[in-house]
Amino acid sequence: MLTQENDVEIHALHARGWNQSAISRHTGRDRKTVRKYVAAGGAAVGRPRAASCVEPWRAYITARFVDDPHLPAVTLFDELTDAGFDRSYPTLVRELRRTSLRPVCLVCQQRRGNAPTTEIDHPPGEEIQWDWLELPTTPWGQPAYLLVGALSHSGRFRAVFCEQMTFGHLAGALHEILLGVGGSARVWRVDRMATAVIPDTDRLNPQFAQMAKHYGTDVAICPPHRPQRKGVVEAAIKFIAGRWWRTARVGSMLEAQQSLDAFTVGVSDRRGRDGSTVGAVGDLEPLRALPALAFPAEIVVERVCSRSALVTFETNHYSVPAGYASQPLTFRARVGDPDLRIVTATGITVATHRRAPAGAQQTIRTSAHAAQLEKAVLDAFTTRTSCRRKTNRPPGDHALAELAKLHGHTEAVTPVVSLTDYAKLAEVAC
């Protein structure tokens, strides 16, 4: 069984035109294994991994690492051997790394972060780095998230605003960025974002692995607590935050995206680089051609419908039937699809709309929905005041009859004779 990383590498090499024998020699895997994974295409291959052999001693190992996070593995091996552990020392070290039982010493990590670094040589077209910029406060009153992709060789970058940081938003923004830079690099470098890497592991998210195979690229994961390894995109984020976002005069997400696109072309690409400009060096990078269609990821966003039967998505407002006002609904939009669906919690589609540009702050309401809303508003219209809460309203005759049935009294209730009724009859007779 190959790891997700090996699977992605094999598909990336196959997409470049390598034959199975060359891939086998390069990866050190058997040619029949390479053939099986290439033939599987996008389908997952493999079997679930067995439980770790250190599970019976997990509680003891955890307690020892609480006592001493820097406890040598050889010392722990001696203690576990006395407790009945019958595996080898390399096996113990491997399982400690796989299960991440050893805690991270924050002080030591901070020290390592201040260690001297050196520039890394990035060949043209070799790598593109990805990261998120979170903007909790925006002029349009809603949080925004900016996906930034930067070519490691030239430093050219593009960025796309998103409403959330889900995988669907990542897939859509990533394709837009690749279109902006002119293609895809051979390697994608990411940090441990939850949409790309399974939290607390070194494993790729299965959806992200499928997307990498769709574009024919390899994926490199940054070491934990080492932001310097993706310093190109970190510098791009600082450049965006300081040179553009701080002084940008925008009132909506659409205006912000248009302003940022103009900034990256008119300001960022004109920066000097190796006797030329960033844009000129980026144009010479040998990037891979993009597929005809984006990766078909689905954007799923939960919202609560307003009293006016409108649901907000990407700052746009979409109408639904009036009966769903104030109810929770879910948006479903596939990347590259011009339409979106609004469904209930049980999966019933209540409305389908043409997807408006993100951040346009448009209101899309169909004529049928408008007529339903108008009818519901007119039916509910009244000039009466609100009901008083402290009034005397005893049970009526019908309620008393039903109560008698509940108590088992099925015989007819004898009507109460009122002398007032007799007095009225006497007056009429006279």
27 & 70 share domain: no
Residue 357 lies in a domain: yes
- In a shared domain, residues 266 and 306: no
Same domain, 144 and 259: yes
**pLDDT for 134-190, tens place per residue?**
999 999 988 999 999 999 999 999 999 999 999 999 999 999 999 999 999 999 999
Annotate 284-350 with three-state secondary structure: CCCCECCCCCCCCCEEEEEEECCCCCEEEECCEEEECCHHHCCCEEEEEEECCCCEEEEECCCCCEE
Question: Residue 129 CA to chain centroid, in angstroms?
Answer: 18
pLDDT at 20: 84
- CA within 13 Å, CB half, 6: 16
Identify whether 291 is part of a domain: no
End position of a domain, from candidates 343, 364, 380 = 380
Return the CATH number at 147. Answer: 3.30.420.10
Q: Is 150 helix (H, G, I), strand (E, B) or coil?
A: strand
Q: How many CA atoms lie within 13 A of 74 on its CB side?
A: 0
Do 261 and 221 share a structural domain? yes
Q: Count up the domains in the chain and report the number.
A: 4
Identify whether residues 247 and 363 lie together within a single domain.
Answer: no
Domain that holds residue 303: 298-380
88 falls within a domain: yes
In a domain, 375, yes or no: yes
pLDDT the model gives residue 113? 57
Would you say residue 428 lies in a domain? no
Question: What are the tens digits of pLDDT across the range 181-224?
Answer: 999 999 999 998 889 999 888 899 999 999 999 999 999 998 87
CA distance 163 to 248: 19
Final residue before a domain boundary, out of 336, 362, 380: 380
Report yes or no on whether pTM surpasses 0.75: no
Domain final residue, candidates 217, 251, 283: 283
Asked whether residue 25 falls in the same domain as residue 62, the answer is no
Ranges of residues in the chain with a pLDDT under 70 are 1, 42-48, 107, 109-118, 225, 227, 410-418, 429-430
Same domain, 81 and 135: no
